[in-house]
């Protein structure tokens, strides 16, 4: 058996179980390794679909030119299709993309135009605008527009979703993927939810992107938009391929956490993958630690290969220059917990406890904040300063339930989060973080704990 061209090798990528990074998590965590596609990324799937649909509609004719704005991987997929079908390619990229991506596209015969990152999407210098302008000026050209071309999501609805369903024998309970154009997240999610509406979908976003807040509030907040380094996920626009009704939850991941997890996947799982893959795994595992049960099966998409990032994520000097490099003597949440050695027991208060009872407990234990629980769930928190404020306003609230005046829950962090990440999460409104150890026991890390770790 042989393929008539390279594009026939697209799809049917393997599922691989995580064995080391998922320790302590209930259930099974699998990753779909999309670098087995011939262009080394999942973008091959939708590149082929967009071109085939354009041909069927008569939009793209023989000898035409494909013009697209890309972060690199879509360009590679389109280049493969163009070679197989006899088209020319012109791609626009933002200047934050790795040099490897630019070099690979040029090696595949494409013309590459590099555009500034730190401009708005409608700025005439943006890679969106330049691609659209070239499309208007070039006869017999096609602008796939992966962001709004619904063939993108359809490709994953027709291929990625069915593959995952078959490979897990219909046992998948959770699906997680980075959200950029939205195609792989939403096309796959649509198929999986049609097979089983109870499948939970988790979208991975990055800081500097609008997705998470838009999902939770329905507001496009321009204050959420700022430059970030992670390639391939997050957006400062709302692509038509992002169907928020198909995404149950969003988790945001920092550039640094994504970068470090990317390297850990190579070192501890043998998966030499790209930056957004690390972001997807970091965010998905963060969600899994709190939500997966023994019989659950989570599948995480790993979009591309590590060769795209040799000059960045896999370059120690680049990682050091950006403050991402792991340092063996730089304490993590796990180091702090081990150092405390159970010295501070985590006290919690049931949401039905009376305010007066909580005040007595805080005084007795000599602590100034406590998580509020409902069974095994952490549903809120309260501090002595908040209690004092409320008692001054309403001296008669001592018989009210604590849930009536509690604040938001104290956030959870991963065991491997370093001191700089922990300290950035603690501020005037949030004076502590929670973490589960490998035995799933919950610990609290306070400002005092971080100060001790920094000075020891």
- Residues with a catalytic annotation lie at 43
> Which among 404, 400, 403 is positioned nearest to 377, based on CA atoms?
403
| CA 232 – CA 276 distance, rounded (Å) | 6
Q: Which two tokens stand for residue 188?
A: 């796959």
Measure the CA angle with vertex 450, ends 20 and 431; round to 5°.
105
Q: Which two tokens stand for residue 116?
A: 């500034």
> Which among 98, 49, 48 is positioned nearest to 71, based on CA atoms?
98
> Which among 156, 258, 155 is positioned nearest to 205, based on CA atoms?
258
């Amino acid at each position: 058996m042989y393929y008539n061209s390279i594009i026939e090798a697209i799809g049917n990528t393997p599922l691989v179980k995580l064995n080391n990074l998922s320790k302590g998590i209930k259930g099974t965590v699998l990753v779909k390794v999309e670098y087995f596609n011939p262009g080394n990324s999942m973008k091959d799937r939708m590149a082929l679909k967009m071109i085939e649909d354009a041909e069927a509609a008569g939009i793209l004719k023989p000898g035409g030119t494909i013009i697209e704005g890309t972060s690199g991987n879509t360009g590679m997929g389109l280049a493969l299709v163009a070679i197989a079908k006899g088209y020319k390619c012109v791609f626009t990229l933002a200047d934050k993309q790795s040099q490897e991506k630019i070099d690979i596209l040029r090696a595949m015969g494409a013309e590459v135009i590099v555009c500034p990152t730190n401009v708005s999407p409608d700025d005439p210098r943006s890679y969106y605008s330049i691609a659209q302008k070239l499309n208007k000026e070039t006869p017999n050209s096609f602008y796939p527009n992966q962001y709004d071309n619904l063939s993108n999501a359809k490709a994953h609805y027709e291929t990625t979703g069915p593959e995952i369903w078959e490979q897990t024998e219909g046992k998948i309970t959770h699906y997680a993927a980075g959200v950029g154009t939205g195609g792989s997240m939403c096309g796959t999610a649509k198929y999986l939810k049609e097979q089983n509406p109870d499948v939970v979908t988790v979208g991975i976003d990055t800081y500097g992107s609008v997705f998470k807040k838009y999902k939770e509030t329905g507001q496009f907040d321009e204050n959420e938009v700022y430059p970030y380094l992670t390639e391939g996920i997050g957006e400062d626009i709302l692509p038509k391929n992002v169907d928020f009704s198909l995404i149950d939850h969003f988790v945001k991941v920092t550039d640094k956490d994504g970068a470090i997890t990317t390297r850990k996947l190579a070192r501890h799982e043998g998966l030499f993958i790209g930056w957004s893959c690390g972001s997807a795994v970091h965010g998905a595992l963060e969600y899994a630690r709190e939500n997966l049960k023994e019989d659950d099966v989570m599948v995480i998409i790993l979009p591309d290969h590590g060769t795209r990032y040799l000059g960045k994520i896999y370059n120690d000097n680049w990682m050091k220059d950006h403050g991402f490099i792991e340092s063996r003597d730089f304490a993590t949440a796990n180091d702090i917990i081990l150092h405390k050695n159970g010295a501070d027991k985590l006290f919690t208060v049931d949401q039905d406890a009376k305010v007066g009872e909580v005040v007595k407990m805080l005084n007795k234990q000599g602590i100034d904040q406590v998580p509020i629980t409902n069974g095994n769930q952490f549903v809120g928190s309260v501090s002595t300063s908040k209690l004092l404020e409320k008692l001054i306003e309403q001296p008669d609230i001592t018989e009210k339930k604590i849930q009536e005046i509690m604040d938001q829950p104290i956030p959870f962090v991963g065991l491997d989060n370093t001191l700089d990440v922990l300290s950035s999460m603690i501020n005037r409104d949030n004076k502590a973080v929670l973490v589960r150890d490998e035995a799933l026991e919950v610990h609290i890390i306070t400002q005092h704990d971080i100060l001790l770790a920094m000075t020891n």
